[in-house]
């Protein structure tokens, strides 16, 4: 029985130490952020801008990989955005005007209220029946703040 008590005490001490380390790290981060200089803030904005550009570049690369795709941007609509956990999502609807089943690859941009690009994602909506519609969910790559809007940058039917 003493072995079990020793293990329990050791786990409790480890958890307590872990919580203390996490609390100290969080406090240090808070102090560091409240003391941001303009230079530090500019560096943070540059990092976000670079991440956004990388997401758009990755989206373009994924779209370029689609073979025999036909422009179908007019057949795809973005719904309103909402928050899902720490991400922003939007329901995307593809409507198939053809007489065959079709798959859609859709590039969705998330923009702020000023129209600035915040993030870009690509999603697939597969098996849309002739004359039918089907939805998928576009989910941001990272946490976005403020009012956001989803827009269709490009959609390919294949």
- Give the pLDDT band of residue 28 (cuts 50, 70, 90): very low
Give the tens place of pLDDT for each residue, 112-133.
Answer: 999 999 999 999 999 999 999 9
DSSP 8-class letter at 152: E
Structure tokens that stand for 154 in this block: 């490009």
| Dist. CA 86–CA 129, nearest whole Å | 33
Cβ pair 144, 152 in contact under 8 A: no
Within the chain, residue ranges assigned H as helices are: 2-34, 38-64
Asked whether residue 33 carries a pLDDT value surpassing 80, the answer given is no
Residue 36: per-residue pLDDT: 55
Q: What pTM does this model have?
A: 0.69
Q: How far apart are the first and last CA of the chain?
A: 66
Cα–chain center distance at 154: 17
Closest CA to 136 of 111, 100, 107, 97: 107
Residues 6+ apart with CB under 8 A from 5: none
Among all chains, which residue has been given the structure tokens 């989803």? 150
- Give the pLDDT band of residue 35 (cuts 50, 70, 90): low
Cβ pair 138, 78 in contact under 8 A: yes
Asked whether residue 144 carries a pLDDT value surpassing 70, the answer given is yes
Q: Are strands 148-157 and 102-112 parallel, antiparallel or unpaired?
A: antiparallel
């Amino acid at each position: 029985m003493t072995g079990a008590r020793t293990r329990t005490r050791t786990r409790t001490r480890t958890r307590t130490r872990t919580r203390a380390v996490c609390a100290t790290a969080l406090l240090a981060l808070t102090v560091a952020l409240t003391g941001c200089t303009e230079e530090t803030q500019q560096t943070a904005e540059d990092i976000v801008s670079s991440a956004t550009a990388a997401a758009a570049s990755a989206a373009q690369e994924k779209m370029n990989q689609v073979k025999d795709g036909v422009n179908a941007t007019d057949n795809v609509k973005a719904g309103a955005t909402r928050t899902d956990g720490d991400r922003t999502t939007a329901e995307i609807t593809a409507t198939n005007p053809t007489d065959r089943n079709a798959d859609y690859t859709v590039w969705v941009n998330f923009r702020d209220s000023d129209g600035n690009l915040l993030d870009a994602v690509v999603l697939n909506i597969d098996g849309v029946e002739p004359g039918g519609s089907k939805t998928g969910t576009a989910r941001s790559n990272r946490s976005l703040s403020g009012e956001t809007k989803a827009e269709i940058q490009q959609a390919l039917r294949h």
